[in-house]
Amino acid sequence: MNVGIVIVSHSADIARGTVDMVRQMVGDNVPLAWCGGNPEGGLGTNVEAILKAIDLAWSEVGVAILVDLGGAETNSEMAIELLPDDRRNKVVVCNAPIVEGAILAATEASGGASLDDVRRTAEELSPS
């Protein structure tokens, strides 16, 4: 069982496109879900959509979330707070660029790595 990946962007196009890139480059053996944009077709993120995406990408070994800016991060953190007790400690937000981090995280996850290793790999690109 592999760690799942959730993409949270303000833009539905960026989130969907990032997931497409991961599927094409890494393959289908990592649970993947995305959310982004508001119901009117504009930009935005919201906690409910993030919770739904976490559910879709759920894996017992954990879920790593990649976010773009500001609200994507705070709403993801809020979504994690709202998870049931047995799931809350299995979801992390990665401090990594959304597209590059998603590819790196998924590559690591596809080999059966732990959630900690997946996050560490995604964050290898971040300036230290």
Partner 1 sequence: MRNETAQINGEVRMTHETGLHARPSVKLTKLAKTFSSTIHLAVAQEGPWVDAKSIAKVMATKAPQNTTLYFRAAGSDAVEAVRAMIALVEHDFADGNGTASAD
Of the residues 35, 53, 103, 115, which one makes contact with partner 1 according to CB under 8 A? 103
d(CA 28, CA 36): 21
Tokens 């800016």 correspond to 69
> Considering all CA atoms of the chain, what is the largest pairwise distance in Å, rounded to the nearest integer?
38
**Site for partner 1 contains 110 (CB under 8 A):** yes
- What mask, x for binding partner 1 by CB under 8 A, covers residues 14 to 43? ---------xxxxxxx--------------
Distance CA 87, CA 47 (A): 16
Does residue 107 bind partner 1 (CB under 8 A)?
Answer: yes
**94 and 3 Cβ atoms separated by less than 8 Å:** no
108 forms part of the interface with partner 1 (CB under 8 A): yes
* Nearest distance from C-beta of residue 5 to partner 1, angstroms: 14
Measured between alpha carbons, how far is residue 98 from residues 19, 24, 61 in Å?
10, 16, 21
Q: Does 66 contact partner 1 by CB under 8 A?
A: no
Give whole-number Cα distances, 85 to 8, 42, 71, in Å.
Answer: 22, 33, 23
Q: Identify which of residues 51 and 103 has a Cβ nearer to partner 1 in the complex.
A: 103
Q: Does 88 bind partner 1 (CB under 8 A)?
A: no
114 touches partner 1 (CB under 8 A): no
Question: Measured from the CB of residue 110, what is the shortest distance to partner 1 in angstroms?
Answer: 6
Contacting positions for partner 1 (CB under 8 A): 23-29, 103-104, 107-108, 110-112, 121, 124-125
